[in-house]
Amino acid sequence: MESGDLTALAGHLADDALDTLAPALPALTTWRRARTRRTAADRWSYQVAWRRIDLDEQPPPGGAWLLVTPDGEPAADEVAAALTGVELRRITADPATATRADLAAALGKALADGPVDGVVSLLGLRAAPHPDHPALPAGTAATLLLVQALHDTGHTPPLWCLTRGAVATGGDDPVRDAGQGGLWGLARVAGLELPRLRVNLLDLPDPEANTGTRLAAALTGSGDEDQLALRPAGLFARRLVRAAPAAPDAADRWQPAGTVLVTGGTGALGAHVARWAAGNGAAHLVLTSRRGDTAPGAAELRDELTALGVRVTVAACDVADRDAVAALLRRLDDDPAPLTAVVHAAGLNDVAPLLDTDLGRLAPVLTGKTAGAAHLDELLGDRPLDAFVLFASIAGVWGSGGQAGYAAGNAHLDALAARRHARGLAATSVAWGPWADGGMATDDAQRELARRGLRAMTPADAVHAMRVAVGRGGANLTVVDVDWSTFAPAYAATRPRPFLADLPEARDAVRAATEVPADGGAALRDQLRDLSGEEQDRRLTDLVRAEAAAVLGHGGPERVKPRRAFKDLGFDSLTAVELRNRLNRATGLSLPATLVFDHPDPAALAGHLRATLVPDAVSQPAGDPAEIAVRQALATIPLARIREAGLLDLLLGLAGPDGPAPEPEGAEVDLDELDTDTLIRLALDGSES
């Protein structure tokens, strides 16, 4: 029925029934597809909710705290009054001119007087544009530098980033500053990438609200809660929940008409939206990109859409340029087909570790998302529209490693939509999971995301979900096809994530991932005691290799060499946690999330497991201590790094004047395929000869 295959249907029906149903098959096929898409849209739809939490009575805070504040910031007095009774040290910094080095020096000096129980940052309250990056709030820029600087000091006290009016906890509590909302996205990435440096978020109420006691309780007694909003009515914690099923006609409530403006319209996602609008009533499509007609595929897309009977304008317009957006809207005002809808799908991404992200790298990514949306919101004013859709991302909802700028930009879009919606204007920010057939994620990235539980959505189904999102009438919706049994344990592996606590499937998955064998690993210990030391090493090395291969998606352990560094094998923070979880279940141990980084290769990790599981059987490893030390040191260095440093020839030279010793049975050494372990062995073997 779904495929409209009359021949296949005939095999299930009597002739008279087939005669009756054959004329109805096209209608049944349409019904079936629509029902499937509606079900998928509901299954993929989530919302952020705020749950009031009551904290236990806390004793007055003591110890020492560090306050990082702009000079003259009124909230500094709020925090000082709330933390009465503590030793409160202060650092004053200008968010517009602060540097990572200066902040690290100031932090180091303040922390030299002794450890602190927490750091409170008020830098994010300064929402004015950074002088060198107009679309980047100075407070967000300074918060990035503060996180980096605190990491540089080597100290890991909890860091509380305070904002005011950055989030909306309900209909009567609107977003007042969308720029500060972007800081929440950046801080969520910091919390993922730097789990030892616990990064927390707290949104303050209006200054006149008398919440000092609850402020102290939030900072000192909120436990695992890391995303909070303080309001006169109480303290609220951020949660992800499933959205209620949409009304059956939700997808039909927005019917394109007149002119539909699609920014990033010649890109993959914008093109999918344009095709849908062209086939469903739009009279005029305006597709913007920086290069206009010269953008790759722009001419072909225009011809394709024109063939559907719609007038198409491909406009060269950098939506980050306010004057360019204003000029575009003036031209649209003169068009006979009035502007009825805007879809802001423009943006760019740049994946980089947060510690390697400077302001020059952060600003363009954030700007690509936020500037165009802000200009459109401002310049359109109160103009009535059928839809004002912002393409955001799950990176802004729960963070994503390596995407600090992208997460900040998308969280800003979510906040802008909420603020716009509170003014009674059309606004829908959809935080998307990965799309198939285009989007920000490459094919390789999509495969990696799928392995982590984030499945790519087909464009047709995603566009349908967009229509449903608009029809729902709310400001924000998260749309993602996620396998919580895979995603949640990795997401919550380094520390508890209360954000997912109200999703039963995520909560159950996290609990299952931490379960140990019923025998607590006794069976494995018994097996090991019956083996010699060499056999124990081999058994545990095989276990580590097999689990590592499963984590990396290999068909078997052959590609996981015992002495090849985990970094060379492709492990990152998330896959390291996944391996830790699998080994916990296999051994009955409670291993740390830093396991892969503490023990650089499978053989070293197996040795650690052996020492933990059968400590009485462990003796000192055989071999020259100097050789062991060299192996352990070099195994931590990726081979590419050795090459770049110009040390490869030197190490191979240790093999003797005739070059490296040949592989067994005359095998040749391919330097491009050489892994670190083989390099070490060749060098050491050669130096002995």
Residue 13 has pLDDT above 60, yes or no: yes
| 310 shares a domain with 234 | no
Distance CA(558)–CA(191), nearest Å, equals 35
Arithmetic mean of pLDDT, 3-17:
68
The pair of three-digit structure tokens given for residue 460, joined into one six-digit string: 């047709």
pLDDT bin (cut points 50, 70, 90) of residue 60 is low
The residue among 88, 105, 92, 116 whose CA lies nearest residue 148 is: 105
Domain identity same for 307 and 275: yes
Q: Is the dihedral of CA 305, 307, 308, 309 positive or negative?
A: positive
Q: Is residue 598 part of a domain?
A: yes
pLDDT band, very low/low/confident/very high, at 120 (cuts 50, 70, 90): very high
3-state helix vs strand vs coil in the chain, percent to 5: 50, 15, 35
Assign 3-class secondary structure to 543-565.
HHHHHHHHHHCCCCHHHCCCCCC
Reply yes or no on whether the pLDDT at 604 is more than 50.
yes
Q: What is the mean pLDDT of residues 10-18?
A: 64
pLDDT at 454 exceeding the cut of 80: yes
Q: Determine the average pLDDT of the residues in 227-233.
A: 95
The mean-pLDDT minimum among 79-83, 209-213, 262-266, 332-336 falls in 209-213
Q: Do both 628 and 684 map to the same domain?
A: yes
**% pLDDT > 70, the chain:** 85
Asked whether residue 378 falls in the same domain as residue 453, the answer is: yes
Q: Among 180, 208, 242, where does a domain finish? A: 242
Mean pLDDT of 389-418: 97
What pLDDT score does 632 carry?
52
Task: Identify whether 99 is part of a domain.
Answer: yes
- Both 423 and 525 in one domain: the answer is no
pLDDT in tens, 562-594: 999 998 898 876 788 788 888 988 888 888 877
pLDDT of residue 242: 97
What type of residue is 555?
G
Tell me whether residue 435 is in a domain: yes
Question: Which of 1-5, 132-136, 177-181, 609-613 is the least confident region?
Answer: 1-5
Residue 269 falls inside a structural domain: yes
The confidence score (pLDDT) of residue 44 equals 97
Give mean pLDDT, residues 508-523: 78
Reported as a single tens digit per residue, the pLDDT across 405-432 is: 999 999 999 999 999 999 999 999 999 9
CB contact set of 278 (below 8 Å; sequence gap of 6+): 285, 305, 308, 309, 310, 312
Reading the block at residue 249, the tokens are: 């006609």
- Please check whether residues 661 and 531 belong to one and the same domain: no
Q: Is the domain of 154 the same as that of 301?
A: no
Task: Identify the pLDDT of residue 18.
Answer: 62
Q: Is the pLDDT of residue 666 over 50?
A: no
CATH number at residue 73: 3.40.50.11460
Inform me whether the pLDDT recorded for 20 exceeds 90.
no
Total count of domains within the chain:
5
Query: Sign of torsion, CA 263 266 267 269?
Result: positive
Asked if residue 181 lies in contact with residue 411, where contact means CB atoms within 8 angstroms, the answer is yes
**Least confident interval from 7-21, 97-111, 311-325, 602-616:** 7-21
Q: What is the mean pLDDT of residues 3-25?
A: 69
Q: What is the pLDDT of residue 623?
A: 47
- CA dist 505 and 485 (Å) reads 7
Amino acid, res. 689? S
Q: Is the pLDDT of residue 620 over 50?
A: no
Residues 215 and 278 in one domain: no
Q: What is the maximum span of the chain, computed from C-alpha positions, in angstroms? A: 90
Which residue, among 356, 455, 446, has the nearest Cα to 404 in the 3D structure?
356
Residue 148 is predicted with a pLDDT of 98
Between CA 366 and CA 371, with CA 369 as vertex, the angle to 5 degrees is 90
Report which of residues 590 and 49 the model is more confident about: 49
The confidence band for 493, taking pLDDT boundaries of 50, 70 and 90, is confident
pLDDT, position 640: 53
Among 512, 496, 498, 503, which Cα is nearest to 482's? 503
User: Rounded to an integer, what distance in angstroms lies between the CA atom of residue 1 and that of residue 277?
Assistant: 27
Confidence of residue 661 (pLDDT cuts 50, 70, 90): very low
* CATH number (domain holding residue 527): 1.10.1200.10
The answer to whether the CB of 241 falls within 8 A of the CB of 476 is no
Cα–Cα dist 80/253, whole Å: 51
Closest CA to 594 of 226, 195, 197, 153: 195
Judge whether residue 381 has pLDDT over 80.
Answer: yes
Beta carbons within 8 Å of 105's beta carbon, 6+ residues apart: none
* Amino acid found at 198: R
Does residue 488 lie within any of the structural domains? no
Q: Which residues have CB under 8 Å from 635's CB, separation 6+?
A: 563, 565, 600, 601, 604, 676, 677, 680
Q: Quick one: 601 and 629 in the same domain?
A: no
Instruction: Please tell me the distance from the alpha carbon of residue 486 to that of residue 454, in angstroms, as a whole number.
Output: 9
pLDDT greater than 90 at residue 662:
no
Q: 668 is in which domain, residue-wise?
A: 621-689
Least confident of 329-333, 396-400, 543-547, 572-576: 572-576
pLDDT at 618 over 70: no
Q: Report yes or no: 454 and 416 within 8 Å, Cβ to Cβ.
A: no
The structure's pTM equals 0.81
Confidence of residue 204 (pLDDT cuts 50, 70, 90): very high
- Please tell me which of 194-208, 407-421, 429-443 the model is most confident about, judged by mean pLDDT: 407-421
DSSP-assigned states of every residue in 77-133: HHHHHHTTTSEEEEEE--TTT--HHHHHHHHHHHHTT---SEEEE-GGG--SEETTE
pLDDT of residue 683: 52
Range 284-294 average pLDDT: 95
Work out the average pLDDT over 546-564. Answer: 89
Give the span between the Cα atoms of 161 and 125, in whole angstroms. Answer: 9
In a domain, 247, yes or no: no
Q: What is the pLDDT of residue 673?
A: 44
Residue 622: pLDDT band (50, 70, 90) is: very low
Q: Among 601, 619, 637, which residue terminates a domain? A: 619
Residues 273 and 363 in one domain: yes
Cα separation of 434 and 481, whole Å?
8
The overall average pLDDT reported for the chain is 87
- Does residue 291 have a pLDDT over 60? yes
CA distance 494 to 293: 47
Considering the domain architecture, whether residues 345 and 289 belong to the same structural domain is answered as yes
For residue 565, being part of any structural domain is answered with yes
Type and span of the H or E element at 339:
strand 339-344
For the stretch 672-681, pLDDT in tens is 444 555 555 5
Q: Based on the domain organization, do 137 and 238 belong to the same domain? A: yes
Pairwise CA distance, residues 74 & 87, whole Å: 19
Burial 217-246, CB ≥16 within 10 A → b, else e = bbbbebeebbbbbbbeeebbbbbbebbeeb
- Residue 50: how many other CB atoms lie within 10 Å: 19
Note whether residue 349 is domain-resident.
Answer: yes
pLDDT at 624 over 60: no
- The answer to whether 89 and 66 have CB atoms below 8 angstroms apart is yes
User: Which residue, 194, 217, 242, sits at the end of a domain?
Assistant: 242
CATH of the domain at 356: 3.40.50.720
